[in-house]
Structure 1
Amino acid sequence: MTFQWVYQAGNTWVPFDGNNNRVLEQFWRSSRNGQVIVNRLPAVVYPRQLQMLVNNNTWVRIVRTGC
């Protein structure tokens, strides 16, 4: 089964690009946090908490779909 990670942007859920999706899945499977670039901004993802901190100041909800 293929999983897709998405993040909340207002009332819309936006899919991560393929590379970030693979990285997030690796973080999820290894129970660790890590950094990605989203819309040219740095972000720290916390997959187990289903959150992402974008540009050091905005918390964004993330979800793993296809479960």
Structure 2
Amino acid sequence: MREEVVRLRGEGWSLRRIAAHMNEVGQPTPAGRACWTQNTVFDLLTTRHVREMSVGLVGGVVDQAG
């Protein structure tokens, strides 16, 4: 799940679009909830583990504009 979110963000998807996609495919959030929001995606992308995993992606992974 984390890898897919990082990949989509690296492809230029907005936080809102990633959240909609994760909801469409029925993937629960890291906390086990059914509904993703752009804040859920942002929180996931800004965790230390994911930041370290995403090092090397062109243009970075996270920005607040979503």
TM-score under structure 1 normalisation? 0.36
Q: Which has the higher strand share?
A: 1
Q: TM-score, normalised by structure 2?
A: 0.37
* Structure with the largest fraction of helix: 2
